[in-house]
Structure 1
Amino acid sequence: MKYDPAKHHRRSIRLSGYDYSQSGFYFVTLCVQHRACLFGHIQDGQMHLNSAGLMIDRWWRKIPDKFPHVTIDAQIVMPNHYHAIITIPVGADPSVCPNPELTPPTDPIHPIAGIIALGERTASGEHVGSPLLAVSLGRMVQWAKTMTTNEYIRGVKRGEWQPFHKRLWQRNYYEHIIRDEKALTNIRNYIADNPARWNRDQLHPQNPSKY
């Protein structure tokens, strides 16, 4: 099934009972308050970041520095939103749990290994995932929102960037748990194609959708 953001990328009400520190791949979107286009513009199907957009991109790329073993897969900064696939690997830090069965996959050709093992148990009956990694998806997103907001405010005070109303980012964020390799490929393609389909994007400021 082709990835359909209207169907698969619903307003984020966290999945009841789901542990978002669990290993896996997560598609995350943050939108600027009131869909204000603060980070650049689309021209000829290409995203052109302004200095604020470059700042947003830089802070999101720091997530793996702040939260070791977490990786950013496909990502893009759009004029008024940000898309990324965030990967929490199986087993997290081997210094925390030395069991070799829980060591994160190291072969970049097979990142889906982190999905296949989602929710499984080891031979000893231990859960793979959340008991070994205390950092939740929400904590990572909140950290990035805080760091980007603080730097954006400094840019506004210097007169470099356009002011925002009350908050830089919308209060909530959107997420989708990627459960198989086909979905991962579809979402990677969706992210890559996002600038080319900007005029039809549900987050375009002239789109009447309330998404």
Structure 2
Amino acid sequence: MKWPERKQNRLNGFDYSRDALYFVTSCVQDKVCVFGEVVNENMQLNKFGCIAEQQWNWLKEQYPYVVLHAYVVMPNHVHGILEIDRDAVGIGRNLSALGPSGETGMFPSSSPQIKTLSQLIGAYKTTTTKLIKAAGLTGFSWQRSFHDHIIRNEMAYYKIRDYILSNPEKWPDDVFYQQV
């Protein structure tokens, strides 16, 4: 049996490890609401939502070239603006000289490599899944892949940031909302 070809999600020919701002959305499998609930237009995270938020912040701790901007954990999805910025670690494009505690010369010249956006979101989803399952939601899984948009100008940045920050108050109208 031949499987149908999968739609390409990423922009053809674009290097997703390059310095840029990316708007990312990742949904829970079947859009099941597991991260908490919106109460009076505010997101109230439960323990699984706290894990999703914790692991989003983990990205900037784990990868010094990741800068996190606006984000929100919603009942069944996460929106965020993630920036890859080699200058955030203070050495421009050559991360090979950065040691584990910030000192130079500790890593071989071939590492660490800048992860692509897909690799970063994969690390986020993998670690989040592992921790959520360990916390008791054994059937948890993310929807395959994720949505991304390359932010190309300041106007787009502010529009997307405002969308993210206002997401809880617009939850009843959200395309990800699913009544249970």
Which band: TM-score by shorter chain? 0.7 to 0.9
Q: What amino acid does structure 1 have at the position aligned with 2:61?
A: D
8 Å Cα contact 1:12/1:172 also seen in 2: no
Equivalent residue number for residue 97 of structure 1: 94
Question: TM-score of the superposition, structure 2-length normalised?
Answer: 0.80
Structure 1 length-normalised TM: 0.69
5+ unaligned residues in a row in structure 2: which ranges?
1-6, 96-111
**How far did residue 69 of structure 1 move?**
2.1
Match of 1:170 among 134, 137, 143: 143
CA contact (8 A) 2:55 2:127 kept: yes
Match of 2:32 among 36, 47, 50: 36
How far the C-alpha of 1:12 sits from its partner, in A, is 7.0
The alignment of Structure 1 onto Structure 2 pairs a total of residues equal to 156
**CA RMSD between the two structures:** 2.1
Distance 2:8 2:150 in 1: 11
Say yes or no: does 1:181 pair with 2:154.
yes
Other structure's SS at 2:70 match: strand
Query: Judging changes above 3 Å, is the alpha-carbon distance between structure 1 residues 16 and 95 closer, same or farther for their aligned structure 2 residues?
Result: closer
Displacement after TM superposition at 1:168 (Å): 1.1
Post-superposition Cα deviations, 1:51-91, rounded to whole Å, max 9, x if no partner, equal: 11011100110101111121110011000000110011255
Partner of 1:54: 50
d(CA) in 2 for partners of 1:183, 1:153: 36
Indicate the percent of aligned positions where both proteins have the same amino acid: 36
Q: What residue identity is the alignment partner of 2:164?
A: I
Q: Deviations over 1:83-105 (max 9, x none)?
A: 1100112556517639xxxxxxx
Which runs of 5 or more residues in structure 1 are unaligned? Answer: 1-10, 99-131, 207-211
Partners of 1:147 and 1:194 in 2: how far apart?
A: 24
